[in-house]
Structures are given as structure tokens and as C-alpha cells.
């Protein structure tokens, strides 16, 4: 049984573009309280009991997505650098995907 739409490169690129567009929406829908109640997966923190420089960056980015910048800064101060980099990578990836869609 063949799935013909998988062979159509334009449709695949369109699906990728829609998926990339929905990433910020999906991040906004994740509740920060749920992330706060999860156990840390940081190996450094689990072994030593101390936070590393990356601890809290997920909570910080999610708090920034919810426009709670005070909590974001409290979780990890480097979100000020990470968030613009993530936005740049997101825009660049979306731009490249849309260009591929129209070049096909």
C-alpha cells in the first residue's frame, strides 16, 4: 500500500513549515507549574546536589513564553541570551523551510 502524498516533496515541506510554526504555540501551552513539579534530569545536579549553569533554563524559557520575565530571570539569568538565540534559530529554520517549499 503506497502513500502518495509522502512522495510529494512540496506537501512534505508544507507540513514541516506548519510544524515549525506550531513550536511556539506548543511551548506556550506547556504549564510552567507542571515543569516545576518534575524531577531534575541534570546528571551534575543528581550526583553533586548543586545546580550547573544550565539548570533552570527550560523553566526560564517557558516562563518567558508566558511573559513572566521575573520568574524566568530567577530560574536562570542566561535566558536573556538563550531566548534570542532560540528565536533566531526558529526564524532561520522557518525561512529555510519556506524557501525549499517554493523552490521545489
Per-residue pLDDT tens, the chain, 104 aa: give them.
556 655 677 788 888 889 999 999 998 998 888 888 888 888 998 899 898 998 889 899 999 999 999 999 999 999 999 999 999 999 999 999 888 877 76
Residue ranges covered by each domain of the chain: 12-98
Helices (H), ranges, 1-104? 9-29, 32-36, 43-48, 57-65, 69-75, 79-103
Helix 79-103 × helix 57-65 angle, to 10°: 70
Q: What is the CA angle 60-64-69, rounded to 5?
A: 90
The confidence score (pLDDT) of residue 6 equals 58
pTM: 0.74
The contacts found for 66-73 with CB under 8 angstroms, 24 or more apart, are 66/28, 66/32, 68/32, 71/32
85: cell is: 538565540
The confidence score (pLDDT) of residue 7 equals 63
CA 7/CA 10 separation, integer angstroms: 9
The confidence score (pLDDT) of residue 40 equals 81
Amino acid at each position: 500500500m503506497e502513500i502518495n502524498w509522502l512522495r510529494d516533496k512540496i506537501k512534505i515541506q508544507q507540513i514541516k513549515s506548519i510544524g515549525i510554526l506550531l513550536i511556539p504555540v506548543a511551548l506556550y501551552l506547556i504549564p510552567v507549574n507542571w515543569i516545576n513539579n518534575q524531577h531534575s534530569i541534570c546528571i551534575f545536579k543528581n550526583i553533586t546536589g548543586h545546580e550547573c549553569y544550565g539548570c533552570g533554563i527550560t523553566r526560564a524559557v517557558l516562563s518567558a513564553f508566558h511573559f513572566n520575565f521575573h520568574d524566568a530571570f530567577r530560574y536562570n539569568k542566561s535566558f536573556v541570551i538563550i531566548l534570542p538565540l532560540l528565536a533566531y534559530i526558529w526564524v532561520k529554520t522557518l525561512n529555510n523551510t519556506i524557501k525549499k517549499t517554493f523552490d521545489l
